[in-house]
């Protein structure tokens, strides 16, 4: 076994970068620490501008051949990657749980199978991607999707491999080459993806993985003149820095950013369903950008809703995410835990009441928390916490519900619980959000557009929208009867 290989729950993981089809070590490393118990998993190669430049160069060199590869062959390779993921679901699941603390049962049953599905979906969508030809005064118009070039894909730590696959799969399907930069708090499954892609026959340089701190490697990636697309999922402040960096080259951006999503509960809703949806917002220890962290409940049912919510939420088991019985695991990093607790303590000091939780547990665990008596303009209502912290406000009617729901700088998602389909139609039409769920949560079909409004993002991905971003969309207009026969 290489000196650069670590063993995570029996799974070998290479800690070096993957550039141009080869493993590349850096002069320095950074520690990767498990949020489960604070132990150091291993030392990871710490990339600099040198590795970033090398990765972009490898992607640029590999681009012409991959762009010229037939759709059928690209789709075949993506299906082979999906096969590789499916063969290693158990390994990927335990490595990612160790690395970022999310529930092992969720990784086994939902997340890793979804990673494979993402590759299969875009492989299949590629084969049927087309626009019907149309005529303009007898001239024919033909729309095509041309590969754009090397792409930089920057992914977060809360669902590392799944969110990477949402970007890597359509980019590769489009004929682009990729430099993937995983979050430094959860880099391991990106390294395993590089192995899986190579075993699936993806040519060298088509997928590159570079690790390190964004402050040290990020600008070299996002400001590089040879990069033709940048896709980022993460915080608003980081997105602004990326946008500034990309501006010199006018590099197109896709940004999926923070959320402060509302969950509206009307008096005519099935309260058991609504409570279940609300408690579900503690999934992944609240580290979900789409989470409906602002519970907005109609006044007449607020007391009953709160009683049922407290009963159900208090039954959640918090602990080791490797335990099948665990419902809420740890938060990713001590710095994130400090941030979460700071939000809660400032809110309580300002007059909020913690109905449940409101405190840390042992290690990197934060108790699931519900805060009431919060003002609409308060920090806890307006800013993304990214932890297991929900607020509850009440409303008198639809107008007030919509006003409160839309009353932040964000617009990523919204959830509506109601028993009246006409009300659902009225309210959803007025909500500012990229996705609205009615009497359900977190149902995502890759055929649908996905993205945020306001500070929650720029652009849409999913289905043809992904190809619109990762490709240069071309229209070819041909004159009627304009051919000269030289034969």
**Which residues are part of the catalytic machinery?**
256, 289
Q: Which of 244, 242, 265 is nearest to 255 (CA)?
A: 242
256: which strand partners?
A: 233, 457
Contacts of 381 (CB under 8 A, 6+ apart): 260, 294, 374, 375, 391, 393, 408
Neighbours of 82 (CB within 10 A): 24
Name the token pair of 337. Answer: 């835990």
C-alpha dist (Å) from residue 121 to 88, 138, 153, 446, 467? 19, 36, 19, 7, 13
- DSSP line for 169-220: HHHHHTT-EEEEE--TTS-HHHHHHHHHHHHTTPPTTSEEE--S-HHHHHHH
Task: Give the separation between CA 408 and CA 356, rounded to whole angstroms.
Answer: 24
In 223-358, which ranges are continuous DSSP H helix? 236-247, 271-279, 299-313, 334-349
Task: Give the separation between CA 413 and CA 437, rounded to whole angstroms.
Answer: 8
C-alpha dist (Å) from residue 176 to 61, 77, 222, 426, 459? 11, 14, 16, 41, 18
Asked if 316 and 328 count as a contact pair (C-beta separation under 8 A), the reply is yes
β-strand pairing of 471-478 with 435-438: unpaired
In 293-420, which ranges are continuous DSSP H helix? 299-313, 334-349, 379-382, 398-405
Phi and psi at 483, nearest 5°, equal -90, 140
Residue 239 CA to its chain's centroid (Å): 14
Q: Which of 154, 151, 172 is nearest to 164 (CA)?
A: 154
Asked if 158 and 120 count as a contact pair (C-beta separation under 8 A), the reply is no
Helix (H), strand (E) at residue 423: helix 421-430
Asked if 154 and 230 count as a contact pair (C-beta separation under 8 A), the reply is yes
């Amino acid at each position: 076994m290489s000196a650069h290989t670590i063993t995570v729950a029996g799974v070998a993981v290479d800690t070096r970068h993957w550039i141009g089809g080869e493993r590349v070590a850096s002069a320095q490393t950074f520690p990767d620490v498990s949020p489960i118990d604070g132990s150091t998993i291993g030392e990871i190669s710490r990339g600099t501008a040198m590795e970033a430049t090398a990765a972009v160069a490898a992607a640029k060199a590999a681009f012409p051949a991959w762009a010229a590869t037939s759709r059928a062959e690209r789709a075949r390779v993506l299906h082979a990657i999906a096969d590789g993921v499916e063969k290693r679901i158990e390994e990927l699941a335990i490595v990612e749980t160790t690395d970022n603390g999310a529930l092992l049962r969720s990784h086994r049953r939902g997340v890793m199978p979804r990673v494979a599905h993402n590759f299969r979906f875009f492989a299949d969508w590629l084969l049927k991607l087309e626009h019907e030809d149309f005529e303009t005064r007898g001239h024919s118009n033909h729309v095509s999707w041309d590969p754009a070039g090397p792409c930089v894909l920057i992914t977060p730590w809360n669902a590392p491999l799944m969110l990477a696959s949402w970007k890597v799969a359509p980019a590769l399907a489009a004929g682009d080459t990729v430099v993937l930069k995983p979050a430094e708090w959860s880099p391991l499954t990106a390294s395993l993806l590089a192995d899986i892609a190579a075993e699936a026959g993806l040519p060298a340089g088509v997928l590159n993985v570079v690790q390190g701190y964004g402050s040290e490697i990020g600008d070299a990636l996002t400001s590089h003149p040879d990069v033709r697309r940048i896709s980022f999922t993460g915080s608003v402040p980081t997105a602004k820095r990326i946008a500034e960096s990309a501006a010199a080259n006018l590099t197109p951006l896709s940004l999926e950013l923070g959320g402060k999503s509302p969950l509206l509960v009307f008096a005519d809703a099935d309260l058991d369903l609504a409570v279940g949806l609300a408690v579900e917002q503690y999934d992944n220890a609240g580290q979900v950008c789409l989470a409906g962290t602002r519970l907005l409940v109609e006044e007449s049912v607020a007391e009953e809703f709160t009683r049922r919510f407290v009963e159900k939420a208090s039954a959640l088991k918090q602990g080791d995410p490797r335990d099948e019985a665990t419902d809420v695991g740890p938060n990713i990093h001590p710095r994130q835990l400090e941030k979460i607790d700071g939000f809660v303590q400032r809110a309580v000091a300002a007059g909020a009441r913690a109905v449940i939780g409101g405190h840390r547990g042992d290690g990197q665990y934060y108790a699931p928390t519900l805060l009431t008596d919060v003002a609409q303009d308060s920090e806890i209502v307006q800013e993304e916490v990214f932890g297991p912290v929900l607020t509850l406000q009440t409303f008198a009617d639809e107008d007030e519900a919509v006003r409160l729901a839309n009353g932040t700088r964000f617009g990523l998602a919204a959830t509506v619980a109601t028993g009246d389909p006409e009300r659902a139609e009225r309210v959803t039409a007025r909500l500012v959000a990229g996705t609205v769920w009615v009497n359900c949560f977190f149902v995502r079909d890759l055929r649908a557009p996905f993205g945020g409004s306001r500070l929650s993002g720029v652009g849409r991905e999913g289905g043809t929208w992904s190809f619109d971003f990762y490709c240069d969309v071309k229209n070819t207009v041909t004159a009627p009867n304009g051919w000269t026969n030289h034969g």
